[in-house]
Chains A and B, each alone.
Chain A
Amino acid sequence: MKKFDKERVLLAVAGPVIALAVAFALTSIVLIASGKNPVEPYTLMFQQATYSDIQVLIINQASMYYIAALAVAIGFRMNLFNIGVDGQYQLAAMVAAVVGAHVALPAALQLPLLILTALLTGAFWSGIAGVLKVTRGVSEVVATIMLNSIATAVIGYLWLPTVFGVKVGNNNTTGEMHESGWLPGIDMGAAGEVYGFVIIAVLLGIGYWVVLNRTRFGFDLRASGASESAAAASGVNPKRMVLTAMLLSGAISGLAGLPILLGDTHTYSLNFPTGIGFLGIGIALLGRNSPTGIAFAALLWAWLDKASPELDFHGYDKEIAVIMQGLIVLAVVVSYEAVREWGLRRQQRRVGAELAAGHVLGASASPSANKTEKQEVAGR
């Protein structure tokens, strides 16, 4: 049993580690090609990560990336590609901001109300794509991309002064939210404030793991992802699974904008960060859809984002970080596939060796259990 664990960890870790090493190496080549020191940017960026105020920024940013990536991962586990996380979280944050500005309940009710609003808005928006898929067979990829554009237009409409918009100077906002809806952060003194929503993000990660690995629904979802026909044969209603997964994915995306909305800006303005949904796709990929993996990936991404601006002051371009992010995603796709095949080959060799040694497969409980688990690893 112990031996098996090593194998499993090796396979899980090899992919991202190889990808990161390749990305770092390629970025260094880019730096050398442009006649710059290939090491100093990294030392500068690592140094940034030791400052407490940068750490606060990294954690805050990572919380949003984490939630968005979880939303994407739910779809991935079921072979659904929810590209619409971007539109879902923006629209949800917008609606939550509007509700927060117009409803004033005590904090104990206001915060759950805002979170529920965001959940429902996100679920509603992705649900449209879900319904289209199960009733008309529209690809969720196409539908969610279109819904992103529509979400932008809807936000533009809600921003009109005659609807819910409040103009502040040259900026469009939704007006300041009532203070009862502000989620207090964790005060770090001079370093700033860690968003209170970070804790909810961690809870979401735990919830994600429990639901997927310890409930019947999670099993059905993973089974549908692995083989829809097999899942259907075992009594899973595929259409219902698609719709539920889409709704769940959308509901989680709805929360992705809340850390900054409830913890910092308290209004949805033109300055609200966009594009987190798309970054979430890369982060979910890098984190292999596992809650811990995604956490590391989100922190890595946030670190690249927050440590890179310093490069501008030392004669380097901060776009180095963007190049790295791109290379990581590319390298991840290649290295995961390579590691998967390598793992399969190792497994086949072992089975062959065991057969040659005269063991009968399934004779004892433990080898057969190992085998199925290994296949699960390889199948990811």
Chain B
Amino acid sequence: MRRVSRLTVAGAATASLALALSACGGTSTESSSSSESKGDKGLAIAYDVGGKGDQSFNDAAYAGLEQAKKEFKYETADVEPTDGETDADKTQRLVSLAKQGYNPIIGVGYAYAPAVKAAAEKYPDTTFGIVDDSTVEADNVADLVFAEQEASYLAGVAAAKSTETNTVGFVGGVDNPLIHKFQAGFEQGVKDTDSKVKVISQYLTQTAEEGGFSSPDKGKAAAEGQIEKKADVIYAAAGLSGQGVIEAASANKVWAIGVDSDQYRQKALAAYKDSILTSATKDVAKAVYTLAKAVEDGKPEGGIVRGDLKSGEVGLADSNPKFKDDAELQKAIETAKEKIISGEIKVKSS
């Protein structure tokens, strides 16, 4: 009796499942594409871990979106990820945006690479962009990559020139190949400028899920540890966690170097801005805007779009007057910059 009833339940469950599958033939894409109006929709971006409000990487993409929205006066969208999602979820998100008529659609972060590839195949008439990845090869996909190591090299020069204790720190958000580029450039910049200066490098977490890019408390603890070891300039390449680094630097009266956006100018960090020496910028905003403009002008280009020191899409921000007015420091940075652009200095990327 008991066994039969259990088996019946299991059987009924399986059957109802199979029924549900076969009964509902329409996919979400088919059923609503006809009713959606197309044409008035423009740029859409899908954020990476950390999402909007990280005062850094994702916000830079959002700045580009705002600019495009203002200029082209069309509807835009920006969507955040969920924790622990799969490639299929990301694909679903991009396909959903494409189905609603957004164009172009940009995945912010290399994690979107498989999703962008899949979505671009389904919607060949929509232009897709992917930030920080150069592995997706399709006519309607623009790979927006940056030479982060070059800006980081300059940050290293600035750090080596500004330190008094001959010790500087590097805080990486997550131990992954992208952040290794920042570390490699920074360490090389420091060593080339002054070989006596010691670099303490540290990563907050092994994976993004553990919060390496989204935990200011972890950043703060790491920075405090480095300050205890006499570091007096700390470069944070850690997304939102970088806020904690800047906070700790400000509390201990040492320098912090920001990343991605010009963090000196950010409202959320206004209280600590006097401690922000400079920021190694990565102009995701410009790259996002440029792609939107190309689509608006009707001539989007696929392939790799590389932002480097030469194109001005990576560089050092000079909003802090103490940094800008330091002639000797500026000269050293200018020299290094010229050498990198001319190819005299080859910056390592790992």
Mutual binders A and B = yes
| Residue B34 lies at the interface, judged by CB distance under 8 Å to chain A | no
Bound form: Cα–Cα A22–B25 in Å: 33
CB pair A306 B89 closer than 8 Å: yes
Bound form: Cα–Cα A143–B311 in Å: 52
Question: Which residues of B have CB within 8 Å of A291?
Answer: 10
Bound form: Cα–Cα A305–B254 in Å: 44
CB pair B21 A52 closer than 8 Å: yes
Question: Which residues of A have CB within 8 Å of B175?
Answer: 156
CB pair A274 B93 closer than 8 Å: no
| Residue A168 lies at the interface, judged by CB distance under 8 Å to chain B | yes
Given A271-B86, A271-B111, A273-B84, A313–B100 Cβ distance below 8 Å?
yes
Determine, out of A53-61, A130-138, A223-231, A245-253, the stretch whose residues face the partner at the interface: A53-61
1-29 of chain B: CB within 8 A of chain A: 1, 5-6, 9-10, 13-14, 17, 20-21, 24-29
| Residue A171 lies at the interface, judged by CB distance under 8 Å to chain B | yes
A301 to chain B, nearest CB (A): 12
Given A51-B27, A191-B27, A309-B92, A170–B10 Cβ distance below 8 Å?
no
107-150 of chain A: CB within 8 A of chain B: none
| Residue B207 lies at the interface, judged by CB distance under 8 Å to chain A | yes
Given A156-B206, A168-B135, A57–B92 Cβ distance below 8 Å?
yes
CB pair B89 A270 closer than 8 Å: no
Question: Which residues of A have CB within 8 Å of B17?
Answer: 59, 299
CB pair A310 B96 closer than 8 Å: yes
Bound form: Cα–Cα A372–B92 in Å: 50
Query: Considering only CB atoms, which chain A residue lies closest to B85 in the complex?
Result: A273
CB pair B13 A292 closer than 8 Å: yes
| Residue A188 lies at the interface, judged by CB distance under 8 Å to chain B | yes
CB pair A270 B31 closer than 8 Å: no
CB pair B206 A313 closer than 8 Å: no
Question: Which residues of B have CB within 8 Å of A59?
Answer: 17, 21
Using a Cβ cutoff of 8 Å, how many contacts connect chains A and B? Answer: 127
CB pair B25 A313 closer than 8 Å: no
Bound form: Cα–Cα A178–B215 in Å: 38
276-303 of chain A: CB within 8 A of chain B: 276, 279, 291-292, 295-296, 299
Given A50-B24, A260-B86, A292-B9, A312–B79 Cβ distance below 8 Å?
yes
CB pair B177 A271 closer than 8 Å: no
CB pair A171 B177 closer than 8 Å: yes
| Residue A27 lies at the interface, judged by CB distance under 8 Å to chain B | no
Question: Which residues of A have CB within 8 Å of B6?
Answer: 209, 292
Bound form: Cα–Cα A300–B133 in Å: 35
The proximity string for A residues 149-169 relative to B, scoring 1 for CB distances below 8 Å and 0 otherwise, is 000110110000000000111
Query: Considering only CB atoms, which chain B residue lies closest to A9 in the complex?
Result: B5
CB pair A172 B177 closer than 8 Å: yes
| Residue B297 lies at the interface, judged by CB distance under 8 Å to chain A | no
Most chain A CB atoms below 10 A, which of B13, B25, B86, B132: B86
B105 to chain A, nearest CB (A): 13
Bound form: Cα–Cα A265–B86 in Å: 9
CB pair A270 B85 closer than 8 Å: no
CB pair B209 A167 closer than 8 Å: no
CB pair A171 B110 closer than 8 Å: yes
| Residue A82 lies at the interface, judged by CB distance under 8 Å to chain B | no
B residues bordering A, Cβ < 8 Å? 1, 5-6, 9-10, 13-14, 17, 20-21, 24-31, 77, 79-80, 82-89, 92-93, 96, 100, 110-111, 113-114, 132-135, 175-178, 206-210
5 CB contacts below 8 A, A to B, read A51-B27, A53-B27, A55-B20, A270-B208, A309-B79
7 shortest A-B CB distances, which residue pairs? A51-B28, A275-B84, A53-B27, A169-B135, A170-B110, A170-B178, A156-B206
Q: Please name 13 further chain A to chain B contacts, defined as beta carbons within 8 Å, in addition to the given A153-B206, A169-B177, sorted by A numbering.
A: A50-B26, A55-B20, A57-B92, A169-B110, A270-B176, A274-B207, A291-B10, A292-B13, A306-B89, A309-B79, A309-B82, A309-B96, A310-B96
